[in-house]
């Protein structure tokens, strides 16, 4: 019923959004994916026979995110994050996934501002290095250095997170 749906929606929106963000690394797209999942769930609620609703919703998000990434050009960091998160698809591990997602977003947000901008233009907006350099009026080598720095930071954090994740 409507009341139960509203309670579920309110309770699960933020964790589902964080999960989608951690895979897509794009806030707006993650919001669209989660919204689509909820709309689809509401429209199909009579036909669905779901015993583990939370698991169903998270798997739906994961699949929709993967389909989106598959339709885009995969880039290395998205593949690493998607692979790491795919290991944690069970409902019991959702807290770990959310923690990992938060950690990834935190690493990106702690990069120097210029590095964040360059990384997002390159990896999220799929703009090539030459165009970024022209757009920001810096050398192409500076763009490459900033992207390398961001990827090193993310890999370092992912390595720590993976280690902690697998020991839990």
Closest CA to 108 of 34, 32, 26, 16: 26
Residue with more model confidence, 134 or 51: 134
pTM over 0.75: no
Does residue 70 have a pLDDT over 60? yes
Separation between Cα atoms, residue 20 and residue 14, nearest integer Å: 10
* Helix 129-136 with 140-167: angle, nearest 10 deg: 120
Largest CA distance in the chain: 58
Q: What is the mean pLDDT of residues 74-79?
A: 59
Write out pLDDT tens, residues 147-168: 999 888 888 877 765 555 544 4
Q: What is the mean pLDDT of residues 16-32?
A: 88
Three-state DSSP at 87 gives coil
| CATH code for the structural domain at 2-167 | 1.20.140
Does residue 74 have a pLDDT over 60? no
pLDDT band at 50 (very low <50, low <70, confident <90, very high): low
Write out pLDDT tens, residues 77-135: 666 666 666 655 554 456 666 676 777 778 888 899 999 899 888 877 788 899 999 99
């Amino acid at each position: 019923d409507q009341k139960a749906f509203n309670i579920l929606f309110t309770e699960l929106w933020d964790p589902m959004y964080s999960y989608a963000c951690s895979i897509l690394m794009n806030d707006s797209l993650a919001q669209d994916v989660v919204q689509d999942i909820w709309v689809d769930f509401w429209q199909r609620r009579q036909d669905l026979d779901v015993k583990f609703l939370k698991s169903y919703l998270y798997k739906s998000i994961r699949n929709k995110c993967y389909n989106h990434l598959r339709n885009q050009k995969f880039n290395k960091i998205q593949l690493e994050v998607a692979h790491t998160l795919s290991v944690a698809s069970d409902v019991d591990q959702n807290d770990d996934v959310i923690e990992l997602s938060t950690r990834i977003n935190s690493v990106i947000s702690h990069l120097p501002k210029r590095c964040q901008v360059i990384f997002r233009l390159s990896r999220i907006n799929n703009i090539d290095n030459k165009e970024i350099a022209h757009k920001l009026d810096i050398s192409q080598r500076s763009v490459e250095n900033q992207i390398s720095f961001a990827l090193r930071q993310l890999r370092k954090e992912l390595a720590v997170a993976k280690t902690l994740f697998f020991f839990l």
